Amino acid sequence: MSHPQRVTVLGATGSIGTSTLDVIARHPERYQVYALTAHTSRETLLSQCIEHQPAIAVLAQEEDAQWLRLELRQARVATEVAVGEQALVDVAQDSSVDIVMAAIVGAAGLLPALAAARAGKRVLLANKEALVMSGALFMQAVETAKATLLPIDSEHNAIYQCLPSEHRGGLARHGVSQLLLTASGGPFRTWSREALAGVTPDQACAHPNWSMGRKISVDSATLMNKGLELIEACWLFDATPEQIQVVVHPQSVIHSMAAYHDGSVLAQLGNPDMRTPIAYGLAWPERIDAGVEALDLFQVARLDFEAPDEGRFPCLRLAREAMQQGGSAPAILNAANEVAVEAFLAKRLGFNAIGDVVAAVLNDQSVEPIDHLETVLNADQHARRTAQQWVSHFAR
């Protein structure tokens, strides 16, 4: 390898971002950090800049950027500090960048991830919303620019590893009958719908197997996370919603599976540690050390599977229906869910009402065909306004 590959990490201070930097630090001869971005976590970004010496750091607000410039100057670190959405797009599409880790949570991650795809980068996609909101546009950008798209979500990364290297053009063409998307079932897998009504934000954020941010933890508890992953899998693997089965697997050891026409089912197993799919994405088609402990099957001892209960967890059904409906429906679903989860975390909305808000917004809004990014962003904004009204309606 001539020179180390330059990496931009979008969302560097989150759990995926910090895990990415951990893997990169293990292979200084292979990777060099070009840019790090954060929303408001300036202290974490400062320590990352001191350690990894990126050319550029990006923050959302000018006030935070001024603070970071001053601190970096005092620490004698030559990192340039930029601000705002355009700066995110710039560091994602910069000609000197080889790899972009797209790990900004939520709709905010869409534009820079799309910019990286349009610039033909190797895009390590950890941001679900880019595909949920604008799947057709995003996949078209990847194809047109001949970008390399590698999914980082543990489930999609697992499926990617279980499929033939070329899997576009429909699963049946490649002998695949079904994709099995595993779900831990979240912390309330065995709770009744009545008990779920009293769930607190702290309970919802205590995930049994994975360490994640608060928004994703709540999505995991409502099974919306799995619904968003189902939509994402349809785009990534050219599948229909009917070809994807969600399997609740509490141990989170099998990360997902692919079932073939000949009766074979291929599974990818490993400890629940995001550094495995991150290392896979960085080094593909090679394999590198990720710092992850080897899986001890004797310690795991058993693997359990059950069907998800869509009566208690309606968000999974709502996501599947939105994907079947197509057009702007998944973008509407995502926007309504972001607003509802935020209201739940602020203790303005009950746990069960998250699904109620999403269902009401989907019923309320007309679905448009998605032909431009503008259509996606308009649907997103309109759904957010509608969701706020429904939050008031369902408020505690």
Q: Report yes or no on 213 lying in a domain.
A: yes
The yes-or-no verdict on residue 356 having pLDDT over 80 is: yes
CATH number at residue 135: 3.40.50.720
Pairs from 60-69 (Cβ < 8 Å, separation ≥ 24):
60/84, 64/40, 67/42, 68/42
If you average pLDDT over residues 98-107, what whole number do you get? 91
Clarify whether residues 85 and 185 are in a common domain.
no
Q: Report yes or no on 110 lying in a domain.
A: yes
Clarify whether residues 144 and 203 are in a common domain.
no
Q: Determine if residue 222 is labeled as part of a ligand binding site.
A: no
21-30, 39-48, 197-206, 339-348: least confident range = 197-206
Q: Determine if residue 19 is labeled as part of a ligand binding site.
A: no
Q: Report yes or no on 285 lying in a domain.
A: no
Structure tokens at 336: 């309504």
Structure tokens at 332: 């509407």
Structure tokens at 155: 């489930």
**Residue 329 burial (C-beta neighbours within 10 Å; 0-12, 13-18, 19+):** buried
Clarify whether residues 183 and 265 are in a common domain.
yes
Q: Report yes or no on 297 lying in a domain.
A: no
Q: How many percent of the chain have pLDDT more than 70?
A: 98
For the chain, the average pLDDT equals 95
Clarify whether residues 207 and 183 are in a common domain.
yes
Clarify whether residues 163 and 49 are in a common domain.
no
pLDDT for the residue numbered 168? 76
The domain boundary residue, chosen from 117, 151, 185: 151
Clarify whether residues 157 and 202 are in a common domain.
yes
> Are residues 115 and 23 in contact, defined by beta-carbon separation less than 8 angstroms?
no
pLDDT for the residue numbered 396? 65
Structure tokens at 343: 């209201």
Clarify whether residues 55 and 66 are in a common domain.
yes
CATH number at residue 352: 1.10.1740.10
The domain boundary residue, chosen from 131, 151, 171: 151
Clarify whether residues 142 and 11 are in a common domain.
yes
pLDDT for the residue numbered 199? 96
Q: CB under 8 Å to 378, separation ≥6 — which residues?
A: none
pLDDT for the residue numbered 209? 63
Q: Determine if residue 291 is labeled as part of a ligand binding site.
A: no
Structure tokens at 281: 């994405």
Report residue 213's pLDDT band, with 50, 70 and 90 as the boundaries.
Answer: confident
pLDDT tens by residue, 272-306: 999 999 999 999 999 999 999 999 999 999 999 99
The yes-or-no verdict on residue 52 having pLDDT over 70 is: yes
pLDDT for the residue numbered 114? 95
Q: How many domains does the chain have?
A: 3
pLDDT for the residue numbered 106? 74
Q: Report yes or no on 16 lying in a domain.
A: yes
Clarify whether residues 9 and 129 are in a common domain.
yes
pLDDT tens by residue, 140-171: 999 999 999 999 999 999 999 999 977 777 89
Q: What is the 3-state secondary structure (H, E, C) of the chain?
A: CCCCEEEEEECCCCHHHHHHHHHHHCCCCCEEEEEEECCCCHHHHHHHHHHHCCCEEEECCHHHHHHHHHHHHHCCCCCEEEECHHHHHHHHHCCCCCEEEECCCCHHHHHHHHHHHHCCCEEEECCHHHHHHHHHHHHHHHHHHCCEEEECCHHHHHHHHHCCCCCCCCHHHHCEEEEEEEECCCCCCCCCHHHHCCCCHHHHCCCCCCCCCHHHHHHHHHCHHHHHHHHHHHHHCCCCHHHEEEEECCCCCEEEEEEECCCCEEEEECCCCCHHHHHHHHHCCCCCCCCCCCCCHHHHCCCCCECCCCCCCCHHHHHHHHHHHCCCHHHHHHHHHHHHHHHHHCCCCCCCHHHHHHHHHHHHCCCCCCCCHHHHHHHHHHHHHHHHHHHHHHCC
Q: Determine if residue 154 is labeled as part of a ligand binding site.
A: yes
At position 74, the amino acid (one-letter code) is Q
Q: Determine if residue 310 is labeled as part of a ligand binding site.
A: no
Domain that holds residue 46: 5-151
Report residue 324's pLDDT band, with 50, 70 and 90 as the boundaries.
Answer: very high
Q: Report yes or no on 287 lying in a domain.
A: no
Q: Determine if residue 226 is labeled as part of a ligand binding site.
A: yes
Q: Determine if residue 144 is labeled as part of a ligand binding site.
A: no
Clarify whether residues 145 and 157 are in a common domain.
no
Q: Report yes or no on 291 lying in a domain.
A: no
Q: Determine if residue 207 is labeled as part of a ligand binding site.
A: yes
pLDDT tens by residue, 223-280: 999 999 999 999 999 999 999 999 999 999 999 999 999 999 999 999 999 999 999 9
Give the residue from 20, 65, 22 showing the smallest Cα distance to 42: 65
- Distance between CA atoms of residues 125 and 26, nearest Å: 21
pLDDT for the residue numbered 319? 98
Clarify whether residues 106 and 192 are in a common domain.
no
Q: Determine if residue 155 is labeled as part of a ligand binding site.
A: yes
Q: Determine if residue 386 is labeled as part of a ligand binding site.
A: no
The domain boundary residue, chosen from 135, 151, 167: 151
Report residue 395's pLDDT band, with 50, 70 and 90 as the boundaries.
Answer: confident
Q: Determine if residue 153 is labeled as part of a ligand binding site.
A: yes
Q: Determine if residue 15 is labeled as part of a ligand binding site.
A: yes
Clarify whether residues 71 and 100 are in a common domain.
yes
Sheet of 265-269, strands arranged across: 244-248, 176-183, 254-260, 265-269
Q: For residue 149, what are the β-bridge partners?
A: 123
Q: Determine if residue 352 is labeled as part of a ligand binding site.
A: no
Q: Determine if residue 13 is labeled as part of a ligand binding site.
A: yes
Q: Report yes or no on 288 lying in a domain.
A: no
Give the residue from 184, 219, 226 showing the smallest Cα distance to 204: 219
